[in-house]
Amino acid sequence: MPSQEQVWFSPNSAKTRWAGWLRRRYAVHSRLPTVQELAALTKRRETRVVLMVDTEKDDLDHLRELAAERLPLVRLIGAVKKRAPAPIRGLEWFAWVARDSSRMVFEQTVAAAFSSLELAYEHQTARDELARIQREMEQLDRIGVALSSTHESDAVLELILTKMREITGADAGSIYVVEEEPSNGDSHKRPERRLRFKLAQNDSIDLPKREMTLTISDKSIAGFVALYGEQVNVDDAYKIPRGTPYRFNQDFDKTFGYRTRSLLTLPMKNAKGDVLGVLQLINCKRDPRVRLTRPSLAMRHVKPFGERAVRVALSLASQAAVSYENSKLYQDIEALFEGFVQASVTAIEQRDPTTSGHSHRVSDMTCGLAEAVDRVTTGEYGGLHFTREQMKEIRYAALLHDFGKVAVREEVLVKAKKLYPEQLDILQIRFDYVRKELEAAIQKKKFELAMKCPKPGECSDIQNLDTELEKGLAELDDAFRFILTVNEPTVMPEGNFDRLVDIGSRTFRDPSGAERNWLSPDEIRMLSIRKGSLDNEERGQIESHVEHTFNFLLQIPWTREIRGIPAIARAHHEKLNGTGYPRQLHGAEIPVQAKIMTICDIFDALAAADRPYKKAVSQERALQILELSVRDNELDPVLFQIFVDAKIFQLLHKSA
């Protein structure tokens, strides 16, 4: 191996006796090196070179060529007659030495040059180390940001392992997570813990995707780390020292023709010190580009995981544990909220079983239409794109859009006819009483005539009473049939109102002898409802469900990404022309997500299933009705066309 400190001098620059002094401490060459020789020497950072030249006799162009390399581990000393010459362009001198200097001066000058080189080396090493630390910190910061922005636990694990391998130079790696067996309701039984093999990566071979579980014990390396929370760093997995409880399982290597050498296994601990999982890094490579496709390559290119790799990996493992725990917590919160939403939908449907499935169908169609709008590249909505969080916002708004119905009186909510069932029952009893009263009156008249008639069967007036009874009962039945007809929630012709007034004006005497009308003013008013089954007050109660929904949803502390849910749900009954409710918004004032939901909500109400107050119509007829609403400037024409073109309506039966 060449000496670390070398002196190269030209014969012109030093006396022969100087070379003898120098050889006692340094490797000495009595010529100047070529550019290639100098570059090769200083490529090894531990080699220091001092060049001694004569500024008057040596080739300055060659010196400039050497100096042009700007090699930091070289110092240039000039030999002069008496004093330093004027600066020479292109050359940077460390010192000048007179040719007749004493041995002490000469040796001290050379020693100072090597001391300067050592300081420069240490300075450069410190700068390189600082730069490396800064790069590592920046990389760890980037990894931390990436981990904190990822909420899905599987994605977090994938990112953890990928970045861990990048930063340590590992060819392969795997992650185990700690699971607890369910206790099956036995609170006194301590849940059994186990390791689930969750993820594996390998740059050199293709791995099958599989999951399996391991018992946590000190017989395996991963089990040992999970059990005791200690790291295990093995230089060669096939040469684990005797006396250690664990052994390396060679089955994987035998199956895939792989060779595992260096192995670093780390615990993933949270802030409490609990082990959440185990990280295993395999085969630290000298060159990340090498693929260890044969065992012999592993023997040549794999090195142990060094102290730096272990230190960084431990830091990242702690960060990974916190991120994984947060992702699990985030998913648990999402699952909890999803359960709350589903329970809310169930509560809605239990109050109105006839609309069962409506919220889920509207949600599926609304999300489907939103995805179709997202795919549009031209026109009014060509630049509109929904993020993943916005799609979640749309889904929850659609699922909960009718939740406010829990605040509406149930009898109004499920009202199928213009009269409530108990009102119709009272009306039925009243008409039955009128019937009995009419029959009794005729029987009384018959008795009175029979008492006056000289011979039975010869009194024609009695027969007239039978005709009168038959006619009166027919009129009564016809009136009640008419009442049943107009009680249906249909659009009623104008002329029918006069007949209701006429029927209502008929009178009878109640058991107390008081004169009563066949129909009360309130019954006439309810039966005169022109469309549907609700009067203005009842319709107001139904429409109030939107504000109840809004006020309920406002109480939920939504995250920033989905805080638009209350506003979207509130606007699902608004119309472009301002005739909707509750705020009579126009066009651009209505959120586009609500415009999308409105189309799906109306379509489901028309075509999904029979409701108490109406029969379901065919999909074709429902689309025709929606098209009429588009012409009346109630629904967005572009969104409706996307709804038709993308056949979103076909999701109706898929969601059922």
Which residues neighbour 640 within 8 Å (Cβ) at sequence distance 6 or greater? 599, 626, 627, 630
* pTM score over 0.85: no
Please determine, for residue 366, whether its predicted confidence score (pLDDT) is greater than 90.
yes
Lowest-pLDDT range, 25-34, 87-96, 97-106, 305-314? 87-96
Domain that holds residue 75: 5-124
Q: Residue 338: inside a domain, yes or no?
A: no
Residues 588 and 524 in one domain: no
Residues 52 and 174 in one domain: no
Residue 646's nearest CA partner among 345, 375, 413, 293 is 375
Largest alpha-carbon pair distance within the chain? 179
Residues 443 and 294 in one domain: no
Residues 511 and 528 in one domain: yes
Q: Residue 133: inside a domain, yes or no?
A: no
Residues 266 and 162 in one domain: yes
Please determine, for residue 493, whether its predicted confidence score (pLDDT) is greater than 60.
no
Answer with the one of 533, 551, 578 that is the final residue of a domain.
533
Mean pLDDT of the region 305-321: 82
pLDDT in tens, 89-132: 667 778 888 777 777 888 888 889 888 888 888 887 778 777 76
What is the CATH classification number for the domain harbouring 379? 1.10.3210.10
Instruction: Residue 242: count other Cβ atoms within 10 Å of its Cβ.
Output: 4
Residues 168 and 294 in one domain: yes
Residue 8's nearest CA partner among 46, 82, 44, 58 is 58
What is the CATH classification number for the domain harbouring 295? 3.30.450.40
Q: Residue 140: inside a domain, yes or no?
A: no
Q: Residue 346: inside a domain, yes or no?
A: no
Residues 118 and 30 in one domain: yes
Judge contact between 324 and 160, C-beta under 8 A: yes
**Residue 589 token pair:** 């004032």
Number of independent structural domains in the chain: 4
Q: Which parts of 149-248 fold into alpha helices (H)?
A: 153-168, 221-228
Judge contact between 152 and 331, C-beta under 8 A: yes
pLDDT in tens, 66-92: 766 666 678 888 878 766 666 666 677
Cis preceding linkage at 582, omega within 30: yes
Is 313 buried (19+), middle (13-18) or exposed (0-12) by CB count in 10 A?
buried
Please determine, for residue 136, whether its predicted confidence score (pLDDT) is greater than 80.
no
453-457, 527-531, 549-553 — most confident range:
549-553
Residues 288 and 178 in one domain: yes
Q: Residue 132: inside a domain, yes or no?
A: no
High-pLDDT (> 70) share of the chain, %:
87
Q: Residue 142: inside a domain, yes or no?
A: no
What does the mean pLDDT of the chain come to?
84
Residues 389 and 505 in one domain: no
Residue 54's nearest CA partner among 107, 90, 9, 100 is 9
Answer with the one of 481, 502, 533 that is the final residue of a domain.
533
Answer with the one of 300, 331, 362 that is the final residue of a domain.
331
Residues 164 and 305 in one domain: yes
Q: Residue 215: inside a domain, yes or no?
A: yes
Lowest-pLDDT range, 89-98, 102-111, 520-529, 615-624? 89-98
Mean pLDDT of the region 598-614: 79
Q: Residue 553: inside a domain, yes or no?
A: yes
Residues 552 and 529 in one domain: no
Residues 155 and 241 in one domain: yes
